[in-house]
Amino acid sequence: MQLPSPASLTLALYQPDIPQNAGTILRMCACLGFAAAIIEPAGFPASDRHFRRAGMDYLDHLTIARHASFGAFNAARRAAGARLILLSTKAGLPYTEFGFAPGDILLLGRESAGAPEEVHSAADARLVIPLQNGMRSLNVAVAAAIVAGEAARQIRLVQLRTAEGSKIGEFPTIAGSKLA
């Protein structure tokens, strides 16, 4: 089934240090039509066998923007007018209460250390995935999939409503049921 594109959403990895997670996330980007960015330094070369194995041949269908530093990345995203949405265990706003928009950049911190204060300060929004008490965090690839899926759902729903002539805010119905 061919769905509308999630409208130029980008998933960016801040200094990723586990190649299998990065490969898995980039495979997801290729499958969902997201753009991808890596903010260096990464903890592994792009030729790493674990990275290539996790991403498989899907990496060949994806252009990965590489940025030499967070400063270079942030300058490029500001010039493009894109919002920076940081996913963090230190954030207070649940991802389900945020309105995603075309052009957003979803940023994930390092698996081993998260994102530094410089990145938190530059973010336009900081989102958390609520967890059960006592649980510290999800695997970064799992967290990426959860939030990327919600962002794509919100944007596609708006695109479908617009294409069908529905008013934004109204949910289409199927056999009397509301879609959420």
Give tens-digit pLDDT for 75-97.
999 999 999 999 999 999 999 99
What pLDDT band is residue 36 in, cutting at 50, 70 and 90?
very high
**Residue of higher predicted confidence among 116 and 61:** 116
pTM over 0.85: no
| Mean pLDDT value of segment 28-41 | 91
Average predicted confidence (pLDDT) for the chain: 84
Confidence (pLDDT) at 1: 38
Q: Under a CB-based contact definition with an 8 Å cutoff, are residues 46 and 82 in contact?
A: no
What pLDDT band is residue 53 in, cutting at 50, 70 and 90?
low
Dist. CA 145–CA 93, nearest whole Å = 18
What pLDDT band is residue 172 in, cutting at 50, 70 and 90?
very low
Helix (H) or strand (E) holding 54: helix 49-55
Confidence (pLDDT) at 64: 86
Percent of the chain with pLDDT over 70: 77
Confidence (pLDDT) at 43: 74
CATH of region 10-178, choose from 3.90.870.10, 3.40.190.180, 3.55.50.30, 3.40.1280.10:
3.40.1280.10
What pLDDT band is residue 3 in, cutting at 50, 70 and 90?
very low
Max CA-CA distance within the chain? 52
Interstrand relation of 64-67 and 35-39 (parallel, antiparallel or unpaired) = parallel
Lowest mean pLDDT among 6-15, 143-152, 156-165: 156-165
Dist. CA 58–CA 81, nearest whole Å = 28
What pLDDT band is residue 121 in, cutting at 50, 70 and 90?
very high
Confidence (pLDDT) at 99: 95
